[in-house]
Structure 1
């Protein structure tokens, strides 16, 4: 079902890759303004291709890419390969070192209705348009999206474990994660990867905007190409694949911040919540995340001076009018968006995706500080989503609310880039693949 191909990426010249820490960058949708300013100071940092700055940024990125190619800042691999990518990390309060194992390859950019790549989140239109513009001007996949496949037999991990013993790169990124990249050139092993993945469906874990940008760009190219065959570079997308059956797949919660909402009054909000929730004051706001941990339909509400635990009353779910199947209705995030954001804060569901009153923050301590300092009116603290919930929603054909999941750690940018420009995309004629 899923057609993947080995890649011939552009990578930093070996003379530069010894300082790869200074060239890598976070994904465009998680990099902070402070990080951007620091990274932009390095004229060779990959952020200049992933999040170009200044006026006419996409044309600037295209011109810079051409310059880097001509000056051999970037050099294209001669042989097709599968790239193995391991991320070693620890979680707060846990001494165990985890390792998320995966590999990077091209995958055919399947339309959603094909049912091969499944999404679990909605996208924000402006962010998609920005990705389309950048892809159109550069014809370059700067960062791989993150896709999940399921293989309880761990067929490919043996090959990846062998390859990672001889890493190309090993760095520590902005998350404190140790990122290790290796390569597989053996044609028979690459064929094994292709064959195993051909029977899989893929859940898109991260990178919905970049993937949807690829779909839109593909359709534009098809419309402009009367000789479209289906094997052109614009038909493919760069993806990092990990196995859902591994025990090192982590999804962290994404909390909601409310700011600048007109007619905001704490007591009015609580009164509108009361028909649906059991409301319990919390004396120490620093413990809210611990109090709700593991409890379904339980949320922490942080105000400037008060904090509450709220938990949905069992019968309240029956009043939800959104036309979703139970697998979506019963999600904590659906409950939060319908009852707390919709009913109590009076922000209708149809405008929540683009509401200027809703921010997202993955850090509980940041949420707490923003509310205490008055930078936010309120924070809604939630629990993480499980991988089983993600799978169930994907297979239902529906999606979760935006920013529902935060797969940790994030893929790092700058290790490799793949071109969909036809002359650079095609595998060499001597390739046995």
Structure 2
């Protein structure tokens, strides 16, 4: 059972730190050096100073984690960050624009009991890397806080959970922040004990699928293990047993999974005709679009099938769509995976096209860069930053639920849930209730 709790979050005192827009930041994994500096310049209280602390001149080893802890302690000591007096759930709404269309994604922040994967009702869908987990663990150890939330999804076709929270949104205005991408983020604090109890009851039978933040979740498990070994976990209700999580219904109309297109390089120059010939044994060409990348992507979107991929060759700016003729070819290429996994567009692209057909028929060792918007694709091809652009249909929530529910992980870069959940809306102490 998914075991959630209201909690006493730490939030900025806006009377002291200024507008919320100046102190929030994206999560660490999407912040480059230029954005990091921009956020540092925005405010001495910007959450990036804890989430992704800059290395000081002459610093060594783990100094930046110690600095993050000093910064956080300073903010709490001077009252820039204050702990809420009542245990709360935090309704979090994000309004954003993708390809000219406005969307609103709604959910709530809560503490969720940590469960080792494979033992309970929390399911991952992506593989993790050791480097980011080691980094986050040092931050947890130094600060004793969840700085940013994990992003979890739960089934709720009737929208029962959010409907109970929505009743309170008209009673008080939210705090609001607009991030560097123009996403409007709004937060309401829900303290009504009857509502909190009802939400906990409704969530109890539901599974939770991790959409984003796998590294943070696994780091929470490791931190809990360390804290238990040190004798610091008093009981099953201690704060270390939980992680802060943003929970969104899988039926929420604003829940968007963007496609992750591949820009393929480290190949010889290849024309559209050559790529079609390389694919011919296993694919039918189902659309030819000349130099019109947008028309190619529109075809893939309208087709709505995981076995239709779009391709553009930079050498001659030719775009076409190709459909896998017989999915049985994937059985031999990924025999240890499920049928659902083998049927994903990203699986077909990598296992069949990039790992087999392109090296055998064209040569080279394909290397990928990953982008999500068509403008990013067309800018990269115009600048000749790759030899082939591959347009990949986005996976659906049904794919995430089926594959993760079978305790199987998707190929890397299968999903991109946009927008990212901001750091700094709420912080969660791993030491205090």
State the TM bucket, normalised to the shorter chain.
0.7 to 0.9
Determine the C-alpha separation between the residues in 1 that align with 2:96 and 2:178: 10
Structure 1: gaps of 5 or more residues: 348-354, 427-433
Matched, 1:219 2:220: no
Alignment of 1:39-78 (within 5 A): 39-41=39-41, 42-54=43-55, 55=59, 56-78=63-85
CA distances 1:188-215 after superposition (whole Å, capped 9, x unpaired)? 2111111111111101111112112212
Alignment of 1:363-374 (within 5 A): 363-374=373-384
Aligned to 2:369: 359
* Other structure's SS at 2:153 match: strand
Determine the C-alpha separation between the residues in 2 that align with 1:227 and 1:129: 21
Matched, 1:10 2:16: no
Shift of 1:286: 2.9
Alignment of 1:170-185 (within 5 A): 170-185=176-191
Matched, 1:389 2:399: yes
Match of 2:204 among 192, 198, 207: 198
* Other structure's SS at 1:85 match: strand
Contact kept in structure 1, 2:270 and 2:314, CA below 8 Å = no
Contact kept in structure 1, 2:289 and 2:318, CA below 8 Å = yes
Aligned to 2:341: 328
Aligned to 1:252: 258
Deviates more, 1:328-337 or 1:169-178: 169-178
Determine the C-alpha separation between the residues in 1 that align with 2:232 and 2:293: 61
Aligned to 1:21: 21
Tell me the TM-score normalised to structure 2 length: 0.88
Matched, 1:413 2:423: yes
Alignment of 1:18-417 (within 5 A): 18-41=18-41, 42-54=43-55, 55=59, 56-94=63-101, 97-165=102-170, 166-225=172-231, 229-259=235-265, 261=266, 264-266=268-270, 271-279=277-285, 282-287=289-294, 288-295=296-303, 296=305, 297-305=307-315, 306-321=317-332, 322=334, 323-346=336-359, 357-417=367-427
CA distances 1:6-61 after superposition (whole Å, capped 9, x unpaired)? 11111112314651111111122223443222112132111111122214322221
Contact kept in structure 1, 2:123 and 2:210, CA below 8 Å = yes
Contact kept in structure 1, 2:118 and 2:407, CA below 8 Å = no
Aligned to 1:429: none
Shift of 1:418: 0.6
Determine the C-alpha separation between the residues in 1 that align with 2:133 and 2:276: 36
Structure 2: gaps of 5 or more residues: none
Determine the C-alpha separation between the residues in 2 that align with 1:274 and 1:216: 48
Contact kept in structure 1, 2:92 and 2:109, CA below 8 Å = yes
CA distances 1:248-300 after superposition (whole Å, capped 9, x unpaired)? 221111112234x2x53426765543322234653124323223223322222
Determine the C-alpha separation between the residues in 2 that align with 1:302 and 1:413: 37
Aligned to 1:430: none
* Other structure's SS at 2:152 match: strand
Contact kept in structure 1, 2:227 and 2:233, CA below 8 Å = no
CA distances 1:212-247 after superposition (whole Å, capped 9, x unpaired)? 221222223233338763333222100011111232
